Amino acid sequence: MRQKRYLVLLFASAMDVNSVLAENSLTSLEEEYGDVCTFCRSDIAQDVELAHQYSVYSVPRILVFEDGRLVDDVTGAMSHGVMKAVLDKHIVR
């Protein structure tokens, strides 16, 4: 059985304190889940088209994809524990 691959996409803004905190948590989670997840970041000021494609109106926003299919979408301030719980909900290790 092949290993499932996941993509975690963070939409953020350098001007938003909650985005900065989410970025720090994501960096930590990347160390733990890097073997099964690809982590990407998008600054909504620079990636306007991508933010529009996913209807991003608030940051931070995390999208989790499994085999190319969106499986979770979380918006707003979140602790490291909440972000980890979102990943654990989908990732079987």
The pLDDT, as a whole number, for residue 1 is 45
The pLDDT, as a whole number, for residue 3 is 58
Residue with tokens 């290790």: 93
Range 1-18 average pLDDT: 86
Nearest to 75 by CA among 26, 27, 20, 10: 10
Per-residue pLDDT at 2 exceeds 80: no
pTM higher than 0.95 for the full model? no
Q: Which fold, 6-90?
A: Glutaredoxin (3.40.30)
Q: Which residues contact 44 (CB under 8 A, 6 or more apart)?
A: 11, 12, 13, 51, 56, 59
Q: Which amino acid is at 18?
A: N
Q: Which residues contact 4 (CB under 8 A, 6 or more apart)?
A: 36, 66, 67, 91, 92
Bridge partners for 62 per DSSP: 10, 74
Residue environment code for 46-69, b if the CB has 16+ CB neighbours within 10 A, otherwise e: ebeeebeeeebeebbbbbbbeeee
The model's pLDDT over 18-65, given as tens digits with 9 standing for 90+, comes to: 999 999 999 999 999 989 999 999 999 999 999 999 999 999 999 999
